Amino acid sequence: MALVDRLSLVYNARGGVVGELAYAVGRRRGTAHCALCDVTHGRIRQKPAWRDLRRSLTVPLDAYHLNDRPPELAALGGGAAPLVAAHAGGETTLVLGPAELEPLGGDVAAFAAALVASLAELGLELPSQGRG
């Protein structure tokens, strides 16, 4: 198993004040949706369970929006978002894409389980606390 150096999230939304406002309006109208936003955020701010999970991770976690994601993340999964990627040994690997995130229904515990299971299937693992 290869050890993950860091994780990246890409939300299916644009960042910045205009992007956030457009997403909020689109969400209310039913024209915008991000399954990863549902996992990490409640109506206004981050979910406490998400903050706890994030603190428990043994690697850095970077979060991006569609308009600020690095090229290697934009290329994953044909440019689809939302997604979770792992960086290990100089490689960037798609771990969870829209098809895997949508069924989670915003559940943080289900996200954590899906993340660990998908990493294992890909031959990747998070470092243990002692090694991270």
Structural domain count of the chain: 1
**3-state DSSP assignment of residue 41:** strand
pTM for the structure as a whole: 0.87
**Structure confidence by residue, pLDDT tens digits, 27-38:** 677 666 789 999
Residue 115 lies in a domain: yes
**Structure confidence by residue, pLDDT tens digits, 29-65:** 766 678 999 999 887 789 999 999 999 999 999 999 9
Residue 88 lies in a domain: yes
**What residues make up the domain containing 116?**
2-125
Q: What is the pLDDT of residue 26?
A: 58
Whether 88 shows a pLDDT value over 90: the answer reads yes
Residue 69 lies in a domain: yes
Q: What is the four-CA torsion angle of 94, 71, 34, 107, rounded to 10 degrees? A: 40
Residue 130 lies in a domain: no
